[in-house]
Amino acid sequence: METKLREFPFKLQEDQSSNLRQLGDVLDEAKFKYTRKLELAEQEKNLQAQIDAWELPTKPLEAPFQVILIKKKGRKNSDDNNTDSKKAKTDDLIPTQNKFAELSANNSMDTTDAIEGTSTDVVHPGSTAPQKKFHVPPITIDNVTNQAALLKHLQQITKLKLEAKLIGTKFRIFPQTPYAYSLIRRYISENNLEGYTYMLPEDKKLRAVIRGLPIDMPPMEIISDLDKQGFRVDECHNMTNRKTGAPMPLFMVSMARTDFHRSIFRSFTVIGYVKVIVEILRKKYGPPQCFRCQGVFHSSKFCTRTPRCVRCTGNHLAKECEKLFGDKPKCCLCGGEHPANFLGCPKNPKPRIDAEKERKRQQRAALTNPEPPKVNFWEQRTQTATQRQQPNSTSQPGPSTAPTPPSNPVNSQNFPQICSRNLKIQPCKILLICLKNSSQ
């Protein structure tokens, strides 16, 4: 509807802008009412589950409650008491031969608790039905002077107890329901407050990239061709090169997250008699950056901050910048001669590493590369060794102190020399040589 309104030939640009604003207000109001309707349906479902768990009647009672007055009991004769006790004793006696005959046939070994003796399928009156948890993203507001008054006013608008957190000059609010999230966003836009938030999980779109179409193909033809094949496309635009800004033969389409729309990646091959390839949109390298305020970790669609140009330091959008493409850019974050989306900017945060992954990586590194011991035991052993354990000294004694040769030529010193010279001789011959030397 918005794309058709943009294509309608208005006489003045102001008329088109006012009509687009009115259309946006109507769509926002319809979205608020739709989310509120879903919340009421979910609450009614939880209430019905609670009623079923407590086994309460769903319809009003036909007969009204009657007040029963307590009457005083009269005295009974002793004969009546004896007869009543006798009757009670006779009634308690049940003639049976099977001691398990009193058990009901519905109870089974599989569904009965062994300790309590009751069935596991029985719903206790005190048990409550599990409630569905809504994941609602936080909303951050900048430069708030009176945080307590703002939080109290937002609680009056949403009629819910809100939680908030102060981070420097930022005030982060945590709404509990999607309806409260929509009301707070509407209040921020009406009062021109600066801040940012994130998309609701149920509003996230399925984005696909169509590769192989000509650059000059109108996006409306792609939308109409996809509509004929059953794919309801919300948005389609031509992708451009990040460095040069030139258009590329790539078109990105956004659709609702349904099973049928997910089949576009495996069954869709032709658009306008042209063979195409449909791929999943690849994630950009580095942290996500806002096109409006050049901040990180949020998108421009949910940002109400003052716009800042990516090529200069002016407070305007990038499409309104008057600087030529060849001129030197200037970063609005650090003041350097580069655009604000430059990955090497000093203000660009480093990629965050999951704490659990980092801890496991450090554990693996400690196991594979253990630290060396602080004390070298081998050096300590050589220092404390005795003279007998020490190796032969390298210093040679002088001629005056030379020891006298032993009288026995066969000793532990020359025996290895004899054996080493006669390695190829048999052991018997070695023994004869030794005996001959000893006799001399």
**What per-residue confidence (pLDDT) applies to 95?**
57
pTM of the model: 0.50
φ, ψ of residue 50 to 5 degrees: the values are -65, -40
How far is 222 from 240, CA to CA, in rounded Å? Answer: 17
- Give residue 196's pLDDT: 93
User: Is residue 285 predicted with pLDDT exceeding 50?
Assistant: yes
Considering only residues 433 and 328, tell me which one the structure prediction assigns the higher pLDDT. Answer: 328
Cα–Cα distance list, 180 to 32, 261, 288, 343 (Å): 9, 30, 26, 36
222 Cβ contact partners less than 8 Å away, ≥ 6 residues apart: 210, 213, 233, 236, 251, 253, 271, 272
Taking only the tens place, the pLDDT of each residue in 22-71 is 787 788 778 878 888 888 888 888 888 887 777 666 665 555 556 566 65
User: In this predicted structure, what is the pLDDT of residue 43?
Assistant: 84
pLDDT at position 125 = 46
- Of 69-78, 120-129, 237-246, minimum mean pLDDT range: 120-129
Nearest to 272 by CA among 227, 208, 238: 227
Q: Rounded CA gap, 403 and 147, in Å?
A: 100
Of how many residues is the chain composed? Answer: 440
Contact 232, 254 (CB under 8 A): no
- The pLDDT tens digits of the residues spanning 189-198 come to 989 999 999 9
Confidence of residue 114 (pLDDT cuts 50, 70, 90): very low
| Per-residue confidence (pLDDT) for residue 349, from 0 to 100 | 80
What digits encode the pLDDT tens for the residues 168-210? 889 999 998 888 999 999 999 989 999 999 988 888 889 999 9
What pLDDT is attached to residue 142? Answer: 92
Where on the phi/psi map is residue 238: left (φ > 0), alpha (ψ -120 to 50), or beta? beta
- Per residue in 334-373, pLDDT (tens digit) is 888 888 888 888 888 866 556 677 778 888 877 766 677 7
Mean per-residue pLDDT over the chain, rounded: 75
pLDDT of residue 440: 61
Check if the beta carbon of residue 193 is closer than 8 Å to that of residue 213: no
